[in-house]
């Protein structure tokens, strides 16, 4: 059974992403085809990238990098919960991704985004980053608009059509995670 991380990609105080990530986790835990775990990048306290060597070399020296690498390596796939800041993802999420290389390789990823236009532009940027890391991104995604899926732009109240969208995203991430397992075992 694949292990899927639900990565909370914001560290901002009062972040909307925390409620979104818990919604994803609660929905995911109703499934029996994968094991899901919430991974909050804030808990890893990653500073701005501080490793001397490029991540592709795999020569990590910092304790926070080693802990982050061990956590990410333990998963077969990912669901990134990302805000949209200035037409892209959060700097904190991009920084966390950039710390590693091989730990991401040959795995699957899906996206749940939120923002003024559902966070769609953040996901477009993340898809490019994931391609470089050899991560297969699934087509389905959830886009949550601050004006319609959040009361007063802060209390998370997803519209009814978001649950089926999340289910489809999870279906695809689990399916692709299973398929890519054969590539990781080579």
What tens digit of pLDDT does each residue of 66-95 get?
Answer: 999 999 999 999 999 999 999 999 999 999
Token digits of residue 91: 């700097």
What integer is the mean pLDDT of 33-61? 97
Classify domain 3-184 at the CATH topology level: Rossmann fold (3.40.50)
CA distance 5 to 15: 19
Token digits of residue 186: 């080579």
Cα dist from 118 to 113, 121, 126, whole Å: 6, 8, 14
Q: What is the average pLDDT score of the chain?
A: 97
What integer is the mean pLDDT of 93-98? 98
Contact 110, 167 (CB under 8 A): no
What are the sequence ranges of the domains in the chain? 3-184
pLDDT tier at 184 (50, 70, 90 boundaries)?
A: confident
* Phi, psi at 100, each rounded to 5°: -125, 165
């Amino acid at each position: 059974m694949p292990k899927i991380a639900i990565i909370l990609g914001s560290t901002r105080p009062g972040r909307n992403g925390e409620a979104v990530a818990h919604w994803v986790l609660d929905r995911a835990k109703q499934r029996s085809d994968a094991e899901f775990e919430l991974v909050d990048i804030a808990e890893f306290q990653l500073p701005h990238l501080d490793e001397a060597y490029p991540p592709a070399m795999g020569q990590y020296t910092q304790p926070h990098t080693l802990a982050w690498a061990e956590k990410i390596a333990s998963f077969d796939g990912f669901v990134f919960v990302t805000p949209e800041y200035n037409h892209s993802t959060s700097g904190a999420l991009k920084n966390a991704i950039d710390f590693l290389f091989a730990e991401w390789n040959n795995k699957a990823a899906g996206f749940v985004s939120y923002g003024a236009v559902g966070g769609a532009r953040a996901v477009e940027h993340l898809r490019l980053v994931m391609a470089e890391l050899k991560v297969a991104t699934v087509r389905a995604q959830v886009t949550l608009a601050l004006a319609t899926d959040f009361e007063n732009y802060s209390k998370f109240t997803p519209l009814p059509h978001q649950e089926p969208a999340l289910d489809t995203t999870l279906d695809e991430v689990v399916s692709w995670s299973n398929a890519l397992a054969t590539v990781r075992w080579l």
